[in-house]
Amino acid sequence: MFCYQCEQTAKGSGCTQIGVCGKQPDVAALQDLLIFACQGLSVAAHAAADKGVADAETDRFIYEAVFSTLTNVNFDAVRFPALIERAVALRERMKDRAASAGAALPACESLSFAPAADLAGLVKQGEAHGIPALADANPDIQSLKQTVIYGIKGVAAYADHAAILGQQDHAVAAFIYEGLASALRQDLDLAAWIDLAMRCGKANLRAMELLDAANTGVYGHPVPTSVPIGHRKGKCILVSGHDLKDLEELLKQTEGRGIDIYTHGEMLPTHGYPKLKAYKHFYGHYGTAWQNQQREFAAFPGAILMTTNCIQKPTTYLANIFTTGLVGWPGAVHVGKDFSAVIARALSLPGFAEDEDRGAVMVGFARNAVLGVAPAVIDAVKAGKIRHFFLVGGCDGAKPGRNYYTEFVEKAPADTVVLTLACGKFRFFDKQLGDIGGIPRLLDVGQCNDAYSAIQIAVALAGAFNCSVNELPLSLILSWYEQKAVAILLTLLSLGIKNIRLGPSLPAFLSPAVLDFLVKTFDIKPISTPDEDLKAILG
């Protein structure tokens, strides 16, 4: 196997024996083969799209299939053969439609590849179609190809969440087809790949816009909400991941059953959505970021439902954990949208024996909430009460160096405001930073996909001050771990946003020349120390 798509990849260069995430070599091979099959589908779909042919079923499939290969989503080998076979079946259908529309298809293996009849055969095929086997001879083009592929994985994740709630745009799928198909080509130069990377960022902006419209259209705009981080006596279910629809379905099915629902990880911001917070048994938040789940889940006295990526190898609690949607772990019970098995397990477990008050955290500072007090924010800036804004967010992870983000927030001067989003917030989400004239100094914008909200806040402030986003007293201090973070970074770069500090380490798939281009063009900087970076930013 060879995988270097996440920040924690072995030795900072690539996992070759077993994934640091726990991914086994057979699963890595099957994921590589699924991407190859999706590339064949994409070649046909891209050619058909040039003739005006689009297919909503294929669009939905490409989101799900590509999302399945994202870090910490599906570790269950037996779930991949059906996806690979479906990709090939849709490819054949799209080839026929493309030919009928008069589209010319190139001669390439991905268009004729036939999946093996058994799992062992598929694994062998995957080993022959991994990153080393398909690597470009030019290391810089190879670097940009992988950057685009990983960005596409993030785009697919957001597009899938949006589609679940009825928001779709074929243009997003069309870019995925073009990007995956282009990764098979040998005739594109560096300029073409830089263009594809920037367009990947724009496609991700559209996907996040769709997801924002889906979430707020169905559940209302988030409002500032205090969320208990303790617990109350009684039966309980813990929900992790990102999917709001799954959470809503669980809330409906547990209503009146005497079970409290707790969020974990990136589900924390869901407490701010009016339609979800209306459920009386939607109680509080348990635990911190995804990488701590083995310790925290083992201590949770109820059932656990994983809705999207972030799952780790279950330890003593395997019987208590359930997966749904695209998530998979060998031996964990996979359920559809009927959560009867989850509920039954929760009722059989002891639940919390007593109440425990551990305080609360605030969520719900998405764009509507922040822009609702924009005049006060602008006045505070003009009066010198707010000197600077920091967006400190992104992915959390277990690799050393991430305490930087905790220390940075703790040392940020009292006349600065910290906006945060994604699971990176768990390094400091419970810090009491006070307020500036009634404006909290720590504002939780939401999940990682709520980078769209953060962008809209920045654009609105730039408009109010009649300047560009790069001229605002705003600095982005970002942490990355997986492919959604890659997609968001490409979105920021496609918007021309500069001076981003990125850590805790830089992607292994970036070649020195590509990194040099990013530094010179966008002034991307690796994080150093909190003291040095604060001094450089604030003077």
Q: Coil, strand or helix: which one is 95?
A: helix
Per-residue confidence in pLDDT tens, the chain, 539 aa: 999 999 999 999 999 999 999 999 999 999 999 999 999 999 999 999 999 999 999 999 999 999 999 999 999 999 999 999 999 999 999 999 999 999 999 989 999 999 999 999 999 999 999 999 889 999 999 999 999 999 999 999 999 999 999 999 999 999 999 999 999 999 999 999 999 999 999 999 999 999 999 999 999 999 999 999 999 999 999 999 999 999 999 999 999 999 999 999 999 999 999 999 999 999 999 999 999 999 999 999 999 999 998 999 999 999 999 999 999 999 999 999 999 999 999 999 999 999 999 999 999 999 999 999 999 999 999 999 999 999 999 999 887 889 999 999 999 999 999 999 999 999 999 999 999 999 999 999 999 989 999 999 999 999 999 999 999 999 999 999 999 999 999 999 999 999 999 999 999 999 999 999 999 999 999 999 999 999 999 98
Q: Report the C-alpha gap between 362 and 127 in whole angstroms.
A: 47
Per the CB < 8 A criterion, the answer to whether 70 and 63 are in contact is no
CA-CA-CA-CA torsion for 478, 483, 487, 490, nearest 10 degrees?
60
Type and span of the H or E element at 430: none
Q: Report the C-alpha gap between 91 and 43 in whole angstroms.
A: 9
Q: Coil, strand or helix: which one is 20?
A: coil
Closest CA to 144 of 511, 523, 526: 511
CA triplet 277, 265, 293: central angle to 5 degrees? Answer: 135
pTM greater than 0.95 (yes/no): yes
Alpha helices in 231-272 (DSSP H): 244-254
Q: Report the C-alpha gap between 510 and 140 in whole angstroms.
A: 8
**Going by C-beta distance under 8 Å and a sequence separation of 6 or more, which residues neighbour residue 88?**
37, 40, 41, 113, 114, 115
